Amino acid sequence: MKKAKILGTGLSGLVGSRIVKLLADDFEFVNLDLKSGVDITNFDQVFDVFKDHQDAVGVIHLAAVTDVSRADRERDNKQGLVYKVNVAGTKNIAKAAGHFKKYLFHVSTDFVFDGRKKTPYTEEDQPNPIEWYGQTKLWAEEAVAKELDNYFIGRLAFPINADEPSGRQDFLHKVLSWLRNQEERSLFKDTIVTPTFIDDIAQVVKRAVNYQIVGLYHMTGSTYISPYNFARRAAKIFGFDDANITAGSFKAYLKIDPRPRQQYLAISNQKLESYLGFKMSSLDIALKMIKWQMGGI
């Protein structure tokens, strides 16, 4: 049977490359990236590729400049690369999707929130970005909602998986490397993250595209945890000694490196579970799956 075609951006990235690998039997992906001659900041290039692939059933938009420190250096600079790719690039994708009447699956981030709320954020909570990356990603969400009716905005957080695409290591692989080499590391015990198994995101993409599900959803894991306890869970499941991982203080760190950082990012996935009927993995399940996928090391 002929596979449905999906146009995608950011498919060479940490998240996109894993999605393409996992959904290779379901979809034919057409990658819109710089190597294939598509800079998403250039509307004509985007328009032309949409025109060439009018048989596509939808678009998955992951491309972004995700370097939060770089974004901080470009704060308030709308001529900077971060704004251009994350906001202007997203507007171009949304405009082309609108013109060619394509369903758009847009990937956003938990960094649209300020991280001050101590209970889990839901889709009803008001975003309030405190740094430039989160601000540009919020403007990107708004551009999608303004241009289109037929869209899915999925907010992702702290992605982990078995792969290490070149130069793009997730936090789990950093932790495993520290543990393996017995490096001393101090990790925050007083911040909260919501680790998300990228393999679950692939299933969300598949359902959303196949059923053209519309709206704003948190597509995040089912465990809220500090980076310090994350590393200890990983050590336990992967069978490493965690003696060199120590508890660090977020508040103390901010005094050394004062760029804005979110402290509490517990992100609720209840809406996704109720509407898509899909249960996102707990951290323990995700880590066990990843260990198995990595050959049990």
Ligand X SMILES: NC(=O)c1ccc[n+]([C@@H]2O[C@H](COP(=O)([O-])OP(=O)(O)OC[C@H]3O[C@@H](n4cnc5c(N)ncnc54)[C@H](OP(=O)(O)O)[C@@H]3O)[C@@H](O)[C@H]2O)c1
Q: Is 36 in the site for ligand X (CB under 6 A)?
A: no
CB of 185 to ligand X, least distance (A): 18
End-to-end CA distance of the chain: 37
Q: Is 123 in the site for ligand X (CB under 6 A)?
A: no
How distant is the alpha carbon of residue 117 from its chain centre? 21
Site for ligand X in 79-108 (CB under 6 A): 85, 89, 107
Q: Residue 147 — left, alpha, or beta (φ > 0 → left; ψ -120 to 50 → alpha)?
A: alpha
Q: Choose between 169 and 244: whose C-beta lies nearer to ligand X.
A: 169
Selected binder of ligand X within 143, 157, 231, 235 (CB under 6 A): 157
Q: Choose between 201 and 213: whose C-beta lies nearer to ligand X.
A: 201
At 256, list the tokens.
């050394």
For residue 283, what are the CA distances in angstroms to 28, 219, 274?
Answer: 30, 14, 20
Instruction: Using CB positions, name the residue nearest to ligand X.
Output: 13
Selected binder of ligand X within 7, 19, 20, 63 (CB under 6 A): 63
Q: How far apart are CA 276 and CA 286, in angstroms?
A: 19
Site string for ligand X, 1-20 (x = CB under 6 A): --------xx-xxxxx----
Phi, psi of 139, rounded to the nearest 5 degrees: -60, -35
Q: Is 153 in the site for ligand X (CB under 6 A)?
A: no
Buried b (16+ CB within 10 A) or exposed e, 170-184: bbbbebbebbeeeee
Q: Is 221 in the site for ligand X (CB under 6 A)?
A: no
Question: Are 197 and 161 a contacting pair, CB within 8 Å?
Answer: yes
Selected binder of ligand X within 22, 87, 94, 156 (CB under 6 A): 156
At residue 159, the 3 state secondary structure works out as strand
Site residues (CB under 6 A) for ligand X?
Answer: 9-10, 12-16, 33-35, 39-41, 62-66, 85, 89, 107, 109, 137, 156-157, 159, 168
